[in-house]
A and B are shown apart, each in its own frame.
Chain A
Amino acid sequence: MSNTPAPLDNMELAMPTPWQQSWSMAKYHLGLQTGALIVLIALICAVFAPWIAPTDPYAQDLANRLAPTIWQEGGSWAHILGTDGYGRDVFSRLIWGTQVTMIVGFGAAVISGIVGSTLGMLGGYLGGRVDAAVIFLINVKLAMPGVLIALSLVSIFGGSLLSITIILSLLFWDHFAVVTRTATQEVRTREFIAAAECSGASRSWILFREILPNITSKIIVIGSLEMGIAILVEAALSFLGLGIQPPTPSWGILVAEARDTMFFKPHLIIAPGLAIFILVVGINLLGDGIRDVTEPQGRN
């Protein structure tokens, strides 16, 4: 038995870095991966629509109206999903529609996220009168029939991409405000905020450099939910003829246009409907997945 003394400088880290932890969880998170794949495909379609879409989505070929799909009799590779009532290529219109859908969905989520989170964080951190004002705004918003107001605003300002995006973001900011307000109140009581105050930090530093990084994952989750809802509402508005105006290929318009032929050409309505469904599910899976792998309390 030898008496070798044990080494004393044996300080080790107990855990891998947060990024490594998130990464190792993401590797086994099927929902996150599925969602990310769907959103990625949609993004690629939106950005590269001019190159991916086989034909011009506006080009009418009246001689070739309601052409069959590739798997139906008489279908051809020229029109994979056939053509619509004006002889336009459905597949190309679907891909171009991704662009409208993503811009509206993402734009509405980002704008409402910025507005709502700012209000929520200010209310949650400053408390007192500011908080009372924020709560009042949220209550006013909740008391208003949102969709009706959106409908009337659209009919006033018209269905341009910009106005639809802004009007939709006015519809959803309150969810961000409610969630960030509670999250901020929780983070505010933690001791590192007091430590930052004792280090001479200003209010804006504490809000944006200390609190915000700790609630971003919550904002992202809400953002993903709102993006999904915004896409659905945009489709609904376009379907009602109040949203994006034809002939712009929005998925809602595609559904609306397919109404007349839905009994004998059901694929015309199923294809955009399915696209909306899959994209919204994908976005929600992605949001949930991001929350699962980034929330610190999901660890330990």
Chain B
Amino acid sequence: MFDSTAEPALRLCDVEVSFPVRRGFFSAAGKLHAVNKVSLDVARGEFISIVGESGCGKSTLAKVLLGLQPVTSGTIQINGKNLADYSRKELAYQVQPIFQDPYSSLNPRKSVAANIALPLILSEKLTAREIRKRVHEIMEMVSLPIRFEHSYPSQMSGGQRQRVAIARALITRPRILVCDEPTSALDVSVQAQILNLLRDLSRRLNLTSIFISHDLSVVRHLTRRVAVMYLGRVVELGDSEEIFNNPRHPYTQLLIRSILPPDPTYRLPPVTWDGGGPDPTNPPPGCHFNPRCPYATDLCRTALPALIKAGDAHVACHAWHDIDAWRAAGGKTPQLS
């Protein structure tokens, strides 16, 4: 939809996931829209980021792409074929995950080789010798010494385990890699190693990568396109250059200003408080961000803005034009809460 290439590797069309929730014992069951009408095209070989805070639906979206969470409505196409039409085993050769916590993403009772080879063992197409060869190839690719093949995850450091997880994800030679906060459990020095590895591999193997993160500074360093999510909706989408240099949605602006630079001359802004975080089970009417937004108008409090083209990006904000003009005229960003 936003990309002109012939056939995207991944196409999301009005994807919606909702869960029934009960707020009190007597109150009627409500609905939590974890993912709300998300449409997105990802071109083959593209490295795209999805950012947002906890509860914005980014992890649910990852589960949807992996086929772990059925959608309530909408369609997902992978290489032109509906995700629902793939069998589990076929899907394993299309999409693979890398999860956040390398301490829980590997089976502690299985050796490194058995963990990595799992998708191949399940497909039952290769002999044990062929599987072993593939495991060695992939371990080399992620810079894991072959001598670790009979070791167990509990013997390894977080960074090594994450390499094992990457090896397992790549052993089926999938087209799409879904990385759900792959480095947020790692130390900074290790994080950098893993991020470099992920980027190199996705380039070398021409992978389509969806990188889900809450850390904008990582995203800025890694990807060319970014989608910002807030309470289940994409509120801004565009090239990362554009989004970081000229954020249009007030929420994106807030996120970018929340990055703490490693700069001792940086001064924290004075504290202001709102009524606490948003409640995903009970989003405010109109634009979901309006209670926290300093630019909110009556329109924002009643009508939900659609994701529309705004300059070189797409933004879901009624007031983006005014904000843009005001910022261009040198208006100081008001303090957001």
Contact = CB atoms under 8 A, between A and B. Distances in A.
Contact of B156 (A9, A13, A196, A299): A13
A299 B68 contact: no
Contacts of A210: 107
Contacts of B152: 17-18
A205 B107 CA distance: 13
User: What bracket does the count of chain A residues touching chain B fall in?
Assistant: 20 to 34
Contacts of A191: 99-101, 104-105
B107 A214 contact: yes
Nearest to A18: B152
Given A195-B165, A296-B108, A14 B157 contact: yes
Interface string B128-170: 0000000000000001110010011011110010000100100
A17 B108 contact: no
A17 B107 contact: no
Nearest to B157: A14
A200 B123 contact: yes
Nearest to B119: A199
A194 B68 contact: yes
Given A13-B148, A194-B99, A213 B92 contact: no
A59 interface: no
Nearest to A193: B107
A23 B97 CA distance: 35
B235 to A, nearest CB: 27
A271 interface: no
B167 to A, nearest CB: 12
B178 to A, nearest CB: 9
B88 A17 contact: no
Contact of A194 (B66, B123, B156): B66
A199 B165 CA distance: 12
B118 A201 contact: yes
Given A198-B66, A200-B88, A210-B107, A11 B97 contact: no
Contacts of A200: 87-89, 91-92, 119, 122-123
Contacts of B63: 194
A16 interface: yes
Contact of B155 (A17, A190, A198): A17
* Most chain B CB atoms below 10 A, which of A192, A197, A198, A299: A198
B18 to A, nearest CB: 19
Given A15-B154, A15-B155, A198-B91, A192 B122 contact: no
Contacts of B157: 14
B106 interface: yes
A125 B88 CA distance: 18
A259 to B, nearest CB: 49
Nearest to B110: A213
Interface in B60-87: 63, 66-68, 87
A13 B104 contact: no
Contacts of A18: 108, 152, 154-155
B223 interface: no
Nearest to A213: B109
A192 B155 contact: no
B168 to A, nearest CB: 7
B208 interface: no
A14 B156 contact: yes
Interface in B33-60: none
B116 to A, nearest CB: 10
Contact of A192 (B67, B89, B91, B105): B105
Interface string B278-290: 0000000000000
A198 B172 CA distance: 11
Given A11-B145, A194-B97, A199 B156 contact: no
A15 B145 CA distance: 16
B95 A198 contact: yes
Interface in A184-219: 190-192, 194-202, 205, 210, 213-214
A213 B145 CA distance: 26
A15 B108 CA distance: 13
B183 interface: no
Contacts of B115: 192
A214 B154 contact: no
B209 interface: no
Given A16-B155, A196-B118, A197-B67, 20 more contacts: A11-B143, A11-B145, A13-B155, A13-B156, A14-B156, A15-B154, A18-B155, A191-B101, A192-B104, A192-B105, A194-B97, A195-B99, A195-B105, A195-B168, A197-B68, A198-B68, A199-B92, A201-B88, A202-B88, A213-B107
26 contacts: A11-B160, A13-B155, A13-B156, A14-B155, A18-B152, A190-B104, A190-B105, A191-B99, A191-B104, A191-B105, A192-B105, A194-B66, A194-B99, A195-B106, A195-B165, A196-B118, A198-B68, A199-B119, A199-B122, A199-B168, A199-B172, A200-B89, A201-B88, A202-B88, A213-B109, A213-B110
Interface of A: 9, 11, 13-18, 21, 190-192, 194-202, 205, 210, 213-214, 296, 299-300
Interface of B: 63, 66-68, 87-89, 91-92, 95-97, 99-101, 104-110, 115, 118-119, 122-123, 143-145, 148, 151-152, 154-157, 160, 165, 168, 172
List 4 tightest A-B contacts by C-beta distance, closest first: A200-B89, A199-B119, A191-B105, A213-B109
